Amino acid sequence: MHRLSSRRLATAIKDPYNAFISIRQSPKQGEGPLAPLTWVAKDNITTTEEPTTCASAALKNYYSPFDATVVKLLDEAGATLVGKANLDEFGLGSSNTNSAFGPVKNPLYEEFRVAGGSSGGSAAAVSGELCDFSLGTDTGGSVRQPSSYCGVLGFKPTYGRISRWGVAAYAQGFDTVGIVARDFSVIRRTFDVIDKYDEKDVTAMPPWIRNKFGAAHLPEKLRIGVPREFLVGELSEETKKEYSTTLENLMKAGHTVVPVSLPSIKKALPAYYTLVSASAASSLSRFDGVRYGVSVGPQYPETIIPENRAHGLGTEVKRRTLLGNFTLSSESGDHFVRATGIREHLVEEINDVLQFPNHLINTEGNPDGVHVLVAPTAFGIAPTIEDYKSACRTSLVNGYINDIMTIPASLAGCPSISVPMRNRRYGIQVMTQYGFDRFLLKAAELIEAHK
């Protein structure tokens, strides 16, 4: 990958974690319900004052002509944007090592451990107390997993809740703007501001569905589902211990913990990467150095696009683009159709175990079901950067397999949040039915109290 140097930093903020790609030189404190909170936007969310690079050499000098809807809403609410966060290039990665601006260091450790990805800069900025909250994007876990690694809250709302207008697309059927913060009050206040219908976003949850979700009333005792399929062999012993302790504390407090089964989770990983790679091949085709991005000025017209893309795009972006184009070709057979079928089956299985109805597809809830599902967010603590790179050299699958813990909620479009466990090195993930985001936040806050 073509490596770029860090941008000029404001003297008011010191960034020892490489969490920022750019820092706003003269941030203005606003007035409103979020004042005087400071925040950071993942650098695939457009702003007009800074470049929107998507951590790619292809877009190193790209300035958007407009602010994203979420940026406008937060500005109007008085929050102060202080900079743009590092990420895996175009959101493709789980370690924030696929960035033209270099990897992000996890603030929890003295040694260099990865911050997770793709929203590693967003999580590190909050964990390192460089801002009060940040926005990331979560396609298959890209807010929750780095939040788990960095010991902060990482909230992926229901798909379509938050406007994607002004967010560079990776996989448009999955991409969700998420919130990272250190406490629930900031998560809730931020969500209240940006949870708005946006007619400019064709994937936005329409008002007639939004109106079906009333006030979030938490029962005195929760019924908590533990999917068997999440108890995989790759979980570290420490993760299992922390997870078990949290469940035991919940049961001692009178909450009911029951095992449930979601068989489609076993097929979720290949289904997810089949679908998102196909989407990425389409979404990223625009970054050719002609319509967007840097052109290297090739000698012959017929080589303009391939040379621009070869020079400007990183290895992982090229890999997934090739995989996606193959998936969409006649040679791949019916992989895309089969992956879509697995996604549908997973939604049906989640509907069967949850008490709440799925208002999107008009299915009733299960009266004997559970309120939430819980699982570890990641296999273990954040690996050192050397261990992570070594594992990926051994097998590329090692760079993807950890996503099995977070992609089911993404496939189903469900809201999900990663909550730090006792020592902040591990996260527990809480999920619930499509659209019941505010119930989820209340339930997750209760669960956090029993970690």
Segment 318-323 mean pLDDT: 94
Q: What is the pLDDT of residues 15-33, one digit of tens each?
A: 999 999 999 988 888 899 9
Q: What is the pLDDT of residues 262-296, one digit of tens each?
A: 999 999 999 999 999 999 999 999 998 888 888 88
Crossing angle of helices 335-353/268-283, nearest 10°? 120
The whole-number pLDDT of residue 5 equals 47
> What's the pLDDT band for 12 if we cut at 50, 70, 90?
low
Segment 308-337 mean pLDDT: 91
* pLDDT surpassing 90 at residue 298: no
Cβ partners under 8 Å of residue 204, min gap 6: 160, 163, 164, 197, 198
Instruction: Specify the range with the lowest mean pLDDT, choosing from 39-43, 281-285, 347-351.
Output: 281-285
* pLDDT surpassing 90 at residue 107: yes
Q: Which of 142, 279, 283, 416 is catalytic?
A: 142
- 42 catalytic? Reply is yes
Which DSSP string corresponds to 230-294? Answer: G--TTS-HHHHHHHHHHHHHHHHTT-EEEEE--GGGGGHHHHHHHHHHHHHHHHGGG-SSSSSS-
Instruction: Specify the range with the lowest mean pLDDT, choosing from 90-99, 164-173, 193-202, 287-296.
Output: 287-296
Does the structural domain 20-211 have CATH classification 3.90.1300.10? yes
Query: What single-letter amino acid sits at 75?
Result: D
C-alpha–C-alpha distance, residues 87 and 197, integer Å: 27
Query: What single-letter amino acid sits at 180?
Result: V
Helix runs in 264-384, H state only: 268-283, 304-312, 315-327, 335-353
Q: What is the pLDDT of residues 69-88, one digit of tens each?
A: 999 999 999 999 999 999 99
> What's the pLDDT band for 10 if we cut at 50, 70, 90?
very low
Instruction: Please name the CATH architecture into which domain 223-271+334-449 falls.
Output: Alpha-Beta Complex (3.90)
The whole-number pLDDT of residue 8 equals 42
> What's the pLDDT band for 303 if we cut at 50, 70, 90?
confident
DSSP structure class, residue 415: -
Average pLDDT, the chain: 94
> Tokens 């790619």 label which residue?
56
The pTM for the full model equals 0.95
Instruction: Specify the range with the lowest mean pLDDT, choosing from 150-164, 321-335, 400-414.
Output: 321-335
Q: What is the pLDDT of residues 378-423, one digit of tens each?
A: 999 999 999 999 999 999 999 999 999 999 999 999 999 999 998 8
Domain with CATH 3.90.1300.10 in the chain: 20-211, 223-271+334-449
The whole-number pLDDT of residue 1 equals 39
* pLDDT surpassing 80 at residue 9: no
* pLDDT surpassing 60 at residue 444: yes
The better pLDDT of the pair 329, 121 is held by: 121
Q: Which of 56, 64, 118, 122 is catalytic?
A: 118
The whole-number pLDDT of residue 450 equals 85
The whole-number pLDDT of residue 274 equals 95
Q: What is the pLDDT of residues 246-270, one digit of tens each?
A: 999 999 999 999 999 999 999 999 9
Q: Which of 22, 42, 84, 156 is catalytic?
A: 42
The whole-number pLDDT of residue 6 equals 44
- 329 catalytic? Reply is no
Q: Cα 331 vs. chain centroid, distance in angstroms?
A: 31
Segment 212-225 mean pLDDT: 91
The whole-number pLDDT of residue 288 equals 87
- 142 catalytic? Reply is yes
